[in-house]
């Protein structure tokens, strides 16, 4: 997805974030991957670090198998470095999983670090944790 150069950088990061979220909602692995940097590091809750784009792709293959019916992530604050090529995206997420026992709701917080390369914002680091133990 190409984002017009005229947008302020924080808004470009927000748009990239929301396009990534839409791809997650749609269980669209190929739609997610354009937002992940080659050297990305993910720190999922309760799991080892996931290093590199190829490993992140494998991680998402498993995540997208989960029976979630709702997912949203909302940036609360996006801070862009004076250099204009790094940004920190701080926000919250919620999801709903459909299980045999009923719906399981999950909510938490995330921190993404974005880097602009060749005019495109890519996630180079992600950390996400639940606010409270899953129901």
φ/ψ bin of 33: left (φ > 0), alpha (ψ from -120 to 50), beta (otherwise): alpha
Range of the domain at 26: 9-130
Residue whose structure tokens are 């250099």: 83
20-71 residue pLDDT tens: 999 999 999 999 999 999 999 999 988 999 999 999 999 999 999 988 889 9
Termini Cα distance of the chain: 36
Q: In the predicted model, is pLDDT for residue 4 greater than 90?
A: no
In a domain? residue 29: yes
pTM listed for this prediction: 0.87
d(CA 135, CA 26): 24
Is the residue at 2 inside a domain? no
User: Residue 5: is its pLDDT beyond 50?
Assistant: no
Q: Is position 3 within any domain? A: no
* Count of structural domains within the chain: 1
Instruction: Tell me what the pLDDT averaged over the chain comes to.
Output: 91
Say what the pLDDT of residue 133 is: 59
* CATH number of the domain where residue 71 is located: 3.10.450.50
**Does residue 50 fall inside a structural domain?**
yes
């Amino acid at each position: 997805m190409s984002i017009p150069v005229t947008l302020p950088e924080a808004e470009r990061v927000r748009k990239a974030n929301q396009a990534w979220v839409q791809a997650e909602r749609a269980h669209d692995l190929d739609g997610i991957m354009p937002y992940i940097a080659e050297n990305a590091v993910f720190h999922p809750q309760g799991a080892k670090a996931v290093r590199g784009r190829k490993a992140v792709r494998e991680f998402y293959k498993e995540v997208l198998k989960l029976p979630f019916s709702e997912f949203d992530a909302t940036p609360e604050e996006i801070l862009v470095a004076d250099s204009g090529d790094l940004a920190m995206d701080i926000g919250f997420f919620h999801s709903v999983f459909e299980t045999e026992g009923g719906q399981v709701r999950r909510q938490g917080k995330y921190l993404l670090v974005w880097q602009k390369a060749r005019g495109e914002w890519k996630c180079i680091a992600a950390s996400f944790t639940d606010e409270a133990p899953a129901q």
